[in-house]
Structure 1
Amino acid sequence: MCSLARFRNVCKSCIVKYLQSSKNCPQCGIKIHETQPLSGLKADNVMQDIVYKLVTNLFENEEKRKEEFCKSRGINVAKELNEADQNVPLTSVYDSPTGHHYSNDELVSLCLERDSLLLPLQNINGQPVHIPPLDRKFIRCSTRTRIAHVKKLLRKKLVLSQSLKLTISCSEASGLDDNWNLKQIWLQHWLDKDPPLILYYAISSS
């Protein structure tokens, strides 16, 4: 591989199409790889975020095209993700305070706050239900984390019964869909704000 190829920013669709007919770097002409030129491609998340910010509605349009692609082929992404979650135990840095967990994913700083505008909870007998606050409300996790994962974490840490309804909101967006990931939420509702990304959780009777 040429010495500068790994530092060049190019459009993914353009370079993939180019490498279908050539194994050489389009700028310097040096061969990238004899058999697998695509193996040298890496995502530049910082540059991607800049492009999303500069090009209006680009992210939303990409998500819409993904949905249309899945629908045209009868792929129910939400169902497949939910079924996969049922068989995967919830693990978290909460469960291992002294451990260190590393990931190649892009990470986001998250703050989980309880919605203070809600009325106190009551059980079916009219007695108040006490929900303790989170012992640690700041976490750092992958941008691929979905709202469903956040809810699962909250239910475990707050020991919530299934009879209680849990909703997540962010800024002006209330009742976020379970299939939304933190990347989508950040780009659409928190792009011009300082970290951490603040999510408000509300607990109510079903």
Structure 2
Amino acid sequence: MAYTRRTANFEKNESFKNSENSSSAGTSQKPMENFVSLSSINPYITCPLCNGYFVDATTVIDCLHTFCKSCLLKYFDEDNTDCPKCHYQIHQSHPSHYVAFDRTMQDIVYKLVPGMQAEEQRRREQFKLKQKKKEDKERREQEKNGSFEKDENGGDLASNESPETSKSNEEENKGKEVPTNTKDDDECCSSEQDPSLMHRRNDEPVLIRLIPDSKLDPIDRSFVRLSAFATINTVKRLLAYLLFADITKYNEFDIFCNYELMGRDFSMAFIRKTRWRNKPEPVVLMYKERLDF
């Protein structure tokens, strides 16, 4: 009986050792690598307009289709206002305001396509150098043709001014400060431009009142003063921020005026004239949960 028990224990230990060796051998083996062909990924990282890899990948905010920045802007320059792929209406007048640079997609393209980032940087530097040479050439031609040529009386041929006129202009401008262009890449307006005009701050605003239906909560401050150029899409984003603290949920609302559904690109001025029919403000807008049929 003891012999059989020892034999059983020995066989058990041997089987355990064999299984341990096999498991250790299995873990020491390298996992098989699955290679994916770049051609199978191409439809997801190429621009539908130029059929090339994305350069400055730009995505339409609503339908999330991506294109090269230059391709998409050229498409908009041809008086197109829809998405080139699904033909979704982006905006009737300013479609370029509803697209955004897709940094994640561009990083993916640079990582998947070997040498593309270095090649793109080289081409951009080449283009800048070419433009600089062209500008220098044009400047030299201008200087040669008129900037430094004088007539017999010493006047400037480019301005066709007499010496007396030039002298009086110099004395007049002597005490004036010459404006310099201090605009950098982060500024939206140059030093010569009035920000209030560029951003339409002096335009007549529109007072609206936002009221909910029975299913949604009211907001704390229902009266809002907006620019006449603000759209329904702006109102939706405001509601999403006030109700959910999440601006990405702006598509969960429908906005109504006089029980008529308002389009996402309707401006406040358009609604005041055509739907509110210039009645006394505020313009009453009702927001409801979006219904998908």
TM-score category by the smaller chain?
A: 0.3 to 0.5
More helix by proportion, 1 or 2? Answer: 2
Q: With structure 1 as the length reference, what TM-score do the two structures score?
A: 0.45
Q: Which has the larger radius of gyration?
A: 2
Looking at both structures, which has the greater relative contact order when contacts are Cα pairs under 8 Å and sequence separation is at least 6?
Answer: 1
Q: With structure 2 as the length reference, what TM-score do the two structures score?
A: 0.32
